[in-house]
Structure 1
Amino acid sequence: MNDSRVIGLASGLFSDAQALNQISSDSPAAATTRERILDVAFEIYNLLLDPAELLRTHASHASLISLHFIQRFDIATIVPPDSGISYSAIASSCGQLEQTVRRILRHAIGLQVFREERLCPSSASDEVLVYHTPASLLLRHPSYSAWLGATCEESWPAATRTVDALAAFPAASEPTESGWALAHSTPRQSLYDVIAISPARALRFSTGMSAYSTGPGYAPDHFLKARGDLLARLAKGSKFVDVGGGFGHFVRALNRQHRHIEFVVQDLPRVVSKAERLPGNLNGGNNGHIVFQAHDFFKPQPVKGAAVYFLRWILHNWSDKYAVRILQNTGQAMDENSRLIIHDYCIDDLNKLSIRKRHSRNMDIGMMQLLNAQERDEAQWRELLAKADSRFQWIGVTRPPGSALAIIEASRTAI
């Protein structure tokens, strides 16, 4: 252990904790300070573990067992939102032994998921009640329950077959040759193939994804603060094409501040048919400036010469082989005044421990196990763009404070 490093980190942590008290909680400075505190605490935690303990900590799958039990037996709903409940009552409701419930929930309590409180602190009685914590309360929400269900019942089995998939298919580029494909489909099909014919699984995935995409790190405000000036400079009637934009949630947020832009949201026909019927999308987003268009991004881009081609959280779903095809179709539609904006993860280097770096590396392995897809660092984004179209001119990467996603930009000439 590097004692001097720990002492220095702890000193900085104390200073940041004091400073956070003096900053407005919703300011960019507060977001940056909170992230720095989390990173320092994470590094101290890892530095203080001895090597064997570190390995044992990272090799444990006990957390997923506890969380899967909570999700499968709907424990978050059984526990009242504003009062406590006994272990025996939980066991009776979920049909499990009280001993099992107690063991698993006490493990979850160590993860800050639920808490327990002695019924009468002053007595010698062992009777305790289980209460919610902020984390366990989230699991009462359909999106977080669906996300946890998909994690435990789709991703976890895939994880157990990912190394088998890599041994059999070392190219690791086809979604039909992933850990998920080996674990869930015979004959092998990709995740996309299966959810296309399974409405229940598709609903769980889409509902669960909203738990990710609606978190504070994914809010449109980060993009608007970082690139609102670029949008404001666009001429009236300029086209902003959201490639693979789903139901148009992100574009609606941009449209509220930039009504001079014509937004085109593209996705597969089955998605567009649903999107157009959503109340917020009627009459072009209620002001005629949002149009939905059926389009497969593996085919030539039909909108030529748009001011902006926007790919949000699209390319991380595909290996380089397929991401190149998406970018080639986009590049061929661009003119000298078009800009490509990729709103996606951009992995930092690993020369310093950080919560965000760990999360993005976890996401990278997660995309491998599901689809043989990947997250990318700045060098990989540059390489991908160069491979797709030599006419792309790299502009740069912006990492807005508090945002989970970076803004990666390229054009032929700057707007």
Structure 2
Amino acid sequence: MTPPATVAALQAAMAASETTEWLEGLEPFNTEAQKISELPPAASKKAFFVEIGGGYGHQCINLAKKYPGLERRLIFQDLPEVVNKLPPIDGVRIMAHSLFEKQIIRGSRFYYLRQVLRNWPDDEVIKILQNIAANMSHRSRILIDDIVLPDSHAPWQATLADMLLMIGVGTKERSRKKWESLAERAGLRIEQVHSYVKAGCPAVVVLALK
């Protein structure tokens, strides 16, 4: 079991980066979210967005506000010691789930990880991705919201984050080539890389089944 102090520290880090800038210009996510949001209440409630290891479910909360019609199609997953302390979130299903277990939601349109994989070494990242891929459909996509380093001349914000990761958890930020390699080894492919802020190099890496 993860030590409570470690869980608390991770939650605080997540809370510091709960912005929705990643949504700006990300297609087909926004178009599909809007279409589903406009469906009648009696329509299918198949999962649309699964936020995995998201601290307090920040992105599910933000999406529920932006697209009210996604109610009950938004799912937040984290460890039992995290979700058991959370209050109910309007319109969001909360589930206990470990990254290192097979994904329990089959065929969601999107599976989202924000600043999660950067905390794990390559072999563990591959296992995490394979666990999600095991229940993806051909339309499912994994959204990795993380740092994507350029091959050279990385901004100081990104290099600082890289140093802090190395000191704190012994991992490193990754370049596009590195993300491509990890995706390949997990049986996935990169469909697009959506950069949304120049400073710090945050981007959404969109993965699909091969």
What TM-score does the superposition give when structure 2 sets the normalisation length?
0.83
Larger % of strand: which? Answer: 2
Are residues 270 and 197 of structure 1, via their aligned partners in 2, closer, same or farther at CA, if it must alter by over 3 Å? closer
Higher relative contact order (CA 8 A, sep 6+): 2
Offset from partner CA, 1:77-118 (integer Å, 9 cap, x none): xxxxxxxxxxxxxxxxxxxxxxxxxxxxxxxxxxxxxxxxxx
Displacement of 1:365 = 2.4
Equivalenced residue count is 197
Offset from partner CA, 1:292-344 (integer Å, 9 cap, x none): 00000101110011111111111000010111110010111101111111111
Q: Give me the whole-angstrom Cα distance separating, in 2, the residues matched to 1:401 and 1:347.
A: 12
Displacement of 1:247 = 1.2
Q: 2:68 aligns with which of 218, 241, 259?
A: 259
Q: Give me the whole-angstrom Cα distance separating, in 2, the residues matched to 1:336 and 1:207.
A: 32
Moved over 3 A (4+): 234-238, 401-404
Letter in 1 for 2:159: R
Residue 361 (structure 1) aligns with? 159
Cα pair 2:7 2:82 within 8 Å, conserved: no
Larger % of helix: which? Answer: 1
1:409 aligns with 2:203: no
Q: Give me the whole-angstrom Cα distance separating, in 1, the residues matched to 2:113 and 2:161.
A: 18
Offset from partner CA, 1:119-153 (integer Å, 9 cap, x none): xxxxxxxxxxxxxxxxxxxxxxxxxxxxxxxxxxx
Q: Give me the whole-angstrom Cα distance separating, in 2, the residues matched to 1:228 and 1:252.
A: 20
- CA radius of gyration, larger in: 1
Cα pair 2:11 2:56 within 8 Å, conserved: no
Cα pair 1:340 1:409 within 8 Å, conserved: yes
Displacement of 1:197 = 4.7
Q: Give me the whole-angstrom Cα distance separating, in 1, the residues matched to 2:93 and 2:28.
A: 23
Residue 173 (structure 2) aligns with? 375
SS of alignment partner, residue 323 of structure 1: helix
1:225 aligns with 2:29: no
What TM-score does the superposition give when structure 1 sets the normalisation length?
0.44
Residue 116 (structure 1) aligns with? none
Displacement of 1:210 = 5.7
Letter in 1 for 2:64: N
Are residues 249 and 197 of structure 1, via their aligned partners in 2, closer, same or farther at CA, if it must alter by over 3 Å? closer
Displacement of 1:228 = 6.5
Residue 384 (structure 1) aligns with? 182
Are residues 403 and 257 of structure 1, via their aligned partners in 2, closer, same or farther at CA, if it must alter by over 3 Å? farther
Q: Give me the whole-angstrom Cα distance separating, in 2, the residues matched to 1:326 and 1:397.
A: 19
Q: Give me the whole-angstrom Cα distance separating, in 2, the residues matched to 1:348 and 1:224.
A: 21
Letter in 2 for 1:230: F
Letter in 1 for 2:25: A
Cα pair 2:14 2:54 within 8 Å, conserved: no
Residue 125 (structure 2) aligns with? 323
Percent of residue pairs bearing the same amino acid type: 25
Q: Give me the whole-angstrom Cα distance separating, in 2, the residues matched to 1:402 and 1:257.
A: 24
Displacement of 1:209 = 2.0
Residue 150 (structure 2) aligns with? 348
CA RMSD of aligned residues (A): 2.4
Q: 2:189 aligns with which of 393, 399, 402?
A: 393
Offset from partner CA, 1:189-239 (integer Å, 9 cap, x none): xxx95xx154xx754x2575267425xxxx21x122222652331545342
Cα pair 1:246 1:266 within 8 Å, conserved: no
Are residues 231 and 328 of structure 1, via their aligned partners in 2, closer, same or farther at CA, if it must alter by over 3 Å? same
SS of alignment partner, residue 133 of structure 2: helix
Residue 53 (structure 2) aligns with? 244
Q: Give me the whole-angstrom Cα distance separating, in 1, the residues matched to 2:109 and 2:199.
A: 24
Any gaps of 5 or more consecutive residues in structure 1? Answer: 1-191
Cα pair 2:26 2:194 within 8 Å, conserved: no
Q: Give me the whole-angstrom Cα distance separating, in 2, the residues matched to 1:246 and 1:227.
A: 22
